[in-house]
Amino acid sequence: MRDFYQEPVPGGVSERLWKENQDLARMSLHHPFVQGLGDGTLDSAAFQTYMAQDTLYLNGYIRTLSYCIAKSDVTATGGDLLALLDGVGDELKACHQHYIDNPDATGPEAACRKYVDFLLAIGQAADLGPSVVIAAVIPCARLYAWIGKELTMGKEISEDHPFRRWLLSYSDEPINTSAKILESLLDKQIRPGEFGEVAQAYRRAMELEYDFFDSFGGCLGRPSEGTMKIPTVLIVSGSDSGGGAGHQADLKTLEALGVYSTSALTSITAQNTKGVQQIQVVNEDIFAAQMNSVTSDFEVSVVKLGLVPTARQLEIVGEKLAELPMVVDPVLVATSGDDLVAQKNAEDVLAMYKERIFPRATIITPNVVEAERILGRKEISGVYEARAAAQALAQYGSKYVLLKGGHDETDPKACRDVLYDREKDEFYEFTNRRIATINTHGTGCTLASAISAFMARGYPVPVAVERAIGYLHEVIVRSCGVPLGQGTNRPLVHSANSVWANYV
């Protein structure tokens, strides 16, 4: 699909507002309702209700745009806003009427009424200038354009996708143009001293957008047997008694990203924010039985492999799960620096990874320390050495290698992850601001699980990696300063709705 999406113009007020509200944007994107729209698993009755309510909302949105015209300098902005009004009208006729005949049959429900009342109150307020009104209507256009891009990026939407028309409409040029027009007007019209009111209106509209999606959570419906496939990941990893890494981090990540998780525990660890105190390996028979139980009953989309502390367990994984897409996080060392694979087993474990697991893996996700152990080389630092190391790791057979940059401190301000596509011989680089925090326990587990979640939802590996890195960055930012544990290796806060999310 052609990508029409453009970010707000750099340096403007609109860009600042969009960046400051990324938490709500991502909450909306990852809402099960929105994800169901993207992958086609949303119950059709819920979608019909949503479209009817959205049509009623857009009627109020058009009225608010009219207030924008009335309050603005018509000679400078009237033409653009009138064109925008026509565009919203076209959307009503095309996309919405494609799915529903009579949106007025039910009347506006609470979330719709609340959002429309907010917009109209802003538009009618005599003491609020046009910039505040424009700020209140931007989130609808910007958020939908971004969600449309995120749900379709790297995908071809099949002709039989139940929500194909919706996805095409909200990833197309008109919705992106609407966002750009409004943002351009805001950047031009905002006056000194208005930013506080503008930011408040923008934020409130973003909150109401999320509430609108969330209002349909109770009517997702129960689909008939066989009408939908629920993305399911089989986690093969060790338990972390402190809840920060391992199996617990995997479960939290998959839950946050709307994917069902099943389990095969490899080990039970006694660990906390101070380090790893003890490890007990799970008996081979019960380890194999767990995988048999899951695969004989569930349709597993992806396997996520974490800590597997013995060569025999890795061999069993190769025997039982060889035909499934596999995300392999070759966990050898905890974030605290503690060895998780006994020294006496290390060589056998590395050999089994290379012989049985990596050749079957869709993607492997070692950090720099693990890559150095696997390759038997020291001091992988900088992007060029990372690229060379990723290529070398790919020779063991995985389709992709993601070499994580968190342990490479060559650049103290940035963290660079390198993804290598072996079949295409192509590199992708992902750069994020390095965050000074001690809440990093379980970052590797979280990233690999997030990749498996997005793969389970059907995203190509490079897109899944990009989105997973974005999720991890968001989680690290949210977790900064959360005082869980007494050590220097503290856990992450995965859910934006967690009681800890607003602790600090």
One DSSP character per residue, 105-146 reads GT---HHHHHHHHHHHHHHH-TTS-HHHHHHHHHHHHHHHHH
Nearest to 236 by CA among 351, 315, 297: 315
Long-range contacts from 188-196, C-beta under 8 angstroms, 24+ separation: 188/76, 188/77, 189/72, 189/73, 189/77, 189/129, 189/130, 189/131, 189/134, 190/13, 190/131, 191/129, 191/131, 194/129, 194/131, 194/132, 195/13
Ranges of beta strands (E only) in 200-339 are 232-240, 260-272, 275-281, 302-305, 326-328
Cα(53)–Cα(49) distance, integer angstroms: 6
Look at residue 233 in the predicted model and tell me its pLDDT.
Answer: 97
Query: Which distant-in-sequence residues (6+ apart) come within 8 Å of 472 by Cβ?
Result: 443, 446, 447, 450
SS3 sequence of 149-209: HHHHCCCCCCCCCCCHHHHHHHCCHHHHHHHHHHHHHHHHHCCCCCHHHHHHHHHHHHHHH
Per the listing, tokens 């020294």 go with 343
Per the listing, tokens 């931007």 go with 138
Burial class (CB in 10 A: 0-12, 13-18, 19+), 75: exposed
Query: Which distant-in-sequence residues (6+ apart) come within 8 Å of 390 by Cβ?
Result: 401, 402, 403, 418, 419, 420, 427
Per-residue pLDDT of the chain (504 residues; tens, 9 = 90+): 456 788 899 899 999 999 888 878 888 887 888 988 998 988 888 898 898 899 889 888 888 888 877 776 644 455 666 666 566 556 555 666 667 666 555 688 889 999 999 999 999 988 888 899 999 999 999 999 999 999 998 788 899 999 999 998 888 888 888 899 899 989 988 988 899 999 999 999 998 998 899 888 643 433 434 444 678 999 999 999 988 899 999 999 998 888 899 999 999 999 888 888 898 999 999 999 999 999 999 999 999 999 999 999 999 999 999 899 999 999 876 555 555 565 567 889 999 999 999 999 999 999 998 999 999 887 787 888 999 999 999 999 999 999 997 655 666 777 889 999 999 999 999 888 788 888 888 899 999 999 999 899 888 899 889 889 988 888 888 788 888 888 888 888 776 544 333 333
Query: Which distant-in-sequence residues (6+ apart) come within 8 Å of 370 by Cβ?
Result: 330, 331, 332, 333
Nearest to 276 by CA among 369, 342, 346, 338: 338
Q: Which fold has domain 13-216?
A: Heme Oxygenase; Chain A (1.20.910)
Q: How far apart are the first and last CA of the chain?
A: 42
Look at residue 334 in the predicted model and tell me its pLDDT.
Answer: 55
pTM to 2 decimals? 0.62
Cα(309)–Cα(265) distance, integer angstroms: 11
CATH code for residues 233-502: 3.40.1190.20
Domain ranges of the chain: 13-216, 233-502
Which residues are tagged catalytic?
404, 440, 442-445
Burial class (CB in 10 A: 0-12, 13-18, 19+), 483: exposed
Look at residue 289 in the predicted model and tell me its pLDDT.
Answer: 97
Contact 275, 205 (CB under 8 A): no
The sheet carrying 232-240 orders its strands as 275-281, 260-272, 232-240, 302-305, 326-328, 363-364, 400-403, 414-421, 426-433
H or E element that contains 419:
strand 414-421
Residues 18-40 as b/e (b if ≥16 CB within 10 A, e otherwise) read beebeebbbbbbbbbbbbbbbbb
Long-range contacts from 480-483, C-beta under 8 angstroms, 24+ separation: 480/435, 480/437, 480/439, 480/504, 481/437, 481/439, 482/439
